[in-house]
Amino acid sequence: MSAKFLRAALVTTLALAGLPLAAPFAAPASAQGIELRIGPDGVRPIIREREPERDRRDRNRGCSPREAQRAATEEGLRRAEVVRVTDRSITVRGFTRRGPEQLRFANRRGCPLI
């Protein structure tokens, strides 16, 4: 039991003795928006702000008019053209074998057909 205690005390002492050696080097450690910088002036917590809503929306944006036009072509629409774009849907007109046709796609990722 005393051997375990002495071993733990030795490890702790060595770890604490090595800490001043690491102080001159800035060592960033990141975890969920908090960064700890260790430098000559000590440990400084740096809290990074979250991304603005606009950037996140652009990354997770829905269906673009070009994607809707390609999806309409894959559905069998010839000479497809986008005629209306709203926040919720994209309307594409074109021709099938039967004549003029209009398809509406949801403005979501993957352009699902409504």
Better-predicted residue by pLDDT, 20 or 77? 77
Predicted pLDDT of residue 35: 81
- Residue 65's nearest CA partner among 78, 77, 82 is 82
Q: Which two tokens stand for residue 3?
A: 């051997």
State pLDDT tens for residues 25-58: 555 554 567 788 888 888 888 887 766 555 555 5
Long-range contacts of 56-61 (CB under 8 A, 24+ apart): 60/109, 61/109
For the sheet with 29-31, list strands across it: 29-31, 34-39, 42-47
Predicted pLDDT of residue 42: 84
Predicted pLDDT of residue 26: 53
Predicted pLDDT of residue 65: 93
Alpha-carbon Rg for the chain, nearest whole angstrom, is: 30
Predicted pLDDT of residue 30: 45
State pLDDT tens for residues 54-110: 555 555 678 999 999 999 999 999 999 999 999 999 999 999 999 999 999 999 988
Predicted pLDDT of residue 46: 81
- Residue 67's nearest CA partner among 20, 105, 16, 38 is 105
Q: What would the 3-class secondary structure string for 12-60 be?
A: HHHHHHHHHHHCCCCCCEEECCEEEEEECCEEEEEECCCCCHHHHHHHC
